[in-house]
Amino acid sequence: MKKITFPKSLKEGDKIAIISPAGAVEPSQLEKGIEMIRNKGYEPVFGEHLYNSFSKGYNYAGTEKQRINDINWAFNDSEIAAIWASRGGYGCQHLLRSIHLKNFSENPKWYIGYSDNTVIQSYLLKKGFASIHGQTVKTSSFGVTDESYRLIFDILEGKTPHYVLESHHFNKMGSCEGQLIGGNLALVYALLGTDYSFKFKNRILFIEDIGENFYALDRMMMSLELGGVFKKIKGLIIGGMTNMGNEKENTAYNDSFDEFAYQLISERVSKYDFPVVFGFPNGHIKDNRPLIIGGNVNLKVENQVKIEFEK
């Protein structure tokens, strides 16, 4: 397994680049997040096209060229200590073939985001760099806990997350150790068969999603099964499944940890012999606690669940 580089810890006064690699965002949507960055003693620096808008079947934060320019600036500018995505949405896949990491490789920095940012994190991991799967600068419509942001700052400052969860009735007991991969299920699925896909062998896979019909969720899980993913991984962690089941007959299923979505996932992986955790607080949910993609995890699923990242 390729050795993974963890970026150095931030210090007071360091600059954090804020960029929009996918969907368009309004200044008012970032005010709280930017204020938190300043209050922690860091200097937010805005990408040139942070607040751009470009409509092409979707409201992107600028053209592909503009978004590529911003992400490459953030990755390679020696004055930038970390990069925080303004939001997800759709559009990060456009950037993958044009990212360059020459200066980044000499001075790695944390990349923070989730949702569509999963593809950037898969790209970084393939290059040997860890990243933070956590809340974007934009605070979502359903809100974000202060703890969700505090834990991100803890990682930026060199602390290692440890989580203890109550048991869930769909959990599968067991323990394992391995590198954490994954993120948004739709993007994990979208990268299958490409040069940018995660490597699954002996990894622990994390998935979360939002707004998918139940048949679409099952289709993605089936693709992972047909691709041999469940024969390769050592463990599975499932986070938020929010506003799932948009078919009219299933509109009752709309909470953050959708019970029917969990049932579908549980049934799909029931024949495989690895521990499974349901209800991890990460995803398109208010309590969005960060995970380190590329971090080595000790996972124990017993009466309680323990998820410990190694230093």
Q: Domain spans of the chain?
A: 15-156, 162-309
Distance CA(243)–CA(37), nearest Å, equals 30
Judge residue 61's burial from the number of C-beta atoms within 10 Å of its C-beta, 0-12 exposed, 13-18 middle, 19 or more buried. Answer: buried
- Supply the pLDDT for residue 22: 98
CATH fold of 15-156? Rossmann fold (3.40.50)
Q: Which residue in 222, 221, 180 sits closest to 198, CA to CA?
A: 180
Cβ atoms of 77 and 17 within 8 Å: the answer is: yes
- Supply the pLDDT for residue 142: 73
Distance CA(75)–CA(103), nearest Å, equals 7
Distance CA(127)–CA(258), nearest Å, equals 34
In 10 A of CB 128, how many CB atoms? 14
The dihedral of CA 197, 215, 289, 149: what is its sign? positive
Alpha-carbon dihedral of residues 286, 292, 298, 303, nearest 10 degrees? 0
- Supply the pLDDT for residue 253: 47
Cβ atoms of 296 and 141 within 8 Å: the answer is: no
Pairing mode, strands 110-113 and 80-85: parallel
Report CA-CA distances (Å) from 103 to 3, 120, 148, 260: 19, 17, 30, 46
Phi, psi of 119 (to 5 degrees): -70, -35
Report CA-CA distances (Å) from 153 to 32, 44, 186, 205, 290: 15, 14, 27, 24, 10
Distance CA(175)–CA(162), nearest Å, equals 15
- Supply the pLDDT for residue 140: 73
Structure tokens at 84: 């925080």
Q: Which residues contact 31 (CB under 8 A, 6 or more apart)?
A: none
- The pLDDT averaged over each successive group of 10 residues in the chain (311 residues) is 92 98 97 96 98 98 98 98 98 98 96 98 98 93 88 97 97 98 98 98 98 96 98 98 74 73 97 98 96 98 96 74
3-state secondary structure of 73: helix
Judge residue 263's burial from the number of C-beta atoms within 10 Å of its C-beta, 0-12 exposed, 13-18 middle, 19 or more buried. Answer: middle
Task: State pTM to two decimals.
Answer: 0.96
- With vertex at residue 98, the alpha carbon angle to CA 93 and CA 101, rounded to the nearest 5 degrees, is 110
Helix, strand, coil percentages for the chain (3-state, nearest 5): 30, 25, 40
**Residue with tokens 């991984």, as numbered in its chain:** 233
Structure tokens at 143: 């809100």
- Supply the pLDDT for residue 200: 98
Q: Which residue in 289, 13, 16, 308 sits closest to 146, CA to CA?
A: 289
Distance CA(197)–CA(202), nearest Å, equals 15
CATH code given to domain 162-309? 3.50.30.60
